[in-house]
Amino acid sequence: MGQVFGTNEDNLIFTLYGDRWNHLPGSLKHITVGPSGIWGINSTNAVLKLVGANWVQVPGQMKQIDAGGDQFVAGVSTADGIYCLGLQATVGYKGPGSPAPWEGRAGSLKYQSCGPLGCWGVNYNGNVYVCPVVSPQQCQGTGWMQVYGTLSMLEVGSDGSVYGVITAGTVYTRDGITSSNPAGTGWTEMSECGKCKHVSFDLGHLWVITQDNRILDCS
């Protein structure tokens, strides 16, 4: 819905209103916003969800989490394990006492991101994978398939588009993604974004963190 959240090197949390970054309470090293709500990871790898105006801790530990799925949350553990939290727990979690049954998935990833056509991930070696048809009720999807290319991280937009960054900092977008071909057909370099380390996409805006921590809107 166009919301933008970020964290800085001091683990402070910010959200963008118009052209101004507003500081939010709490401390996180990673934050994600999407159809599943607003979730984050703190410095001890604890998982937190924003409920009302308060961060509540969710059982489990992850080093990266993604709220871009269709009301389910995907995460990666400190040991590169792949996990998913289904719709009922994702939407219904309100705090201590609410169930949070993380479902493990086959494989090993250091980063994963989900969208309407499935989940994408990058492993320790930079290999890229896609798992189509991941639904709120069935976190397993149809299994992971390797996609040609190597990336340091990637993000899936709310429209299913995929953007990634290579180790050298160049941004790429995945071409040809459709419901009948969720893996797409190839990669296109986006040299106009410069050298980057992190990307996120929504509603026509490609948000980029450069290697020297500048913020760019490559719309």
Give a three-class secondary structure readout of 80-97. CCEEEECHHHHHHCCCCC
Q: Does domain 5-217 have CATH number 1.10.10.10?
A: no
The per-residue pLDDT of the chain, averaged, comes to 93
Residues 17-24 have a mean pLDDT of 93
pLDDT at 59 over 80: yes
Q: How confident is the model at residue 218 (pLDDT cuts 50, 70, 90)?
A: confident
* 67-94 confidence digits (pLDDT tens): 998 889 999 999 999 999 988 888 888 9
Q: How confident is the model at residue 142 (pLDDT cuts 50, 70, 90)?
A: confident
pLDDT at 141 over 90: no
Q: Which residue has the tokens 């990266």?
A: 64
Domain range annotation of the chain: 5-217
pLDDT at 160 over 90: yes
* 115-136 confidence digits (pLDDT tens): 999 999 999 999 999 998 777 7
DSSP state of 102: P
Residues 14-41 have a mean pLDDT of 95
47, 78 Cβ separation under 8 angstroms = no
Higher pLDDT, 11 or 192: 11
pTM of the model: 0.94
Q: How many whole angstroms separate alpha carbon 71 and alpha carbon 144? A: 20
Residue 101's DSSP bridge partners are none
Q: How many whole angstroms separate alpha carbon 210 and alpha carbon 189? A: 16
* 184-212 confidence digits (pLDDT tens): 999 999 988 889 999 999 998 999 999 99
Cα Rg for the chain, rounded, in angstroms? 16
pLDDT at 137 over 80: no
Q: How confident is the model at residue 54 (pLDDT cuts 50, 70, 90)?
A: very high
Higher pLDDT, 98 or 57: 57
Q: How confident is the model at residue 95 (pLDDT cuts 50, 70, 90)?
A: confident
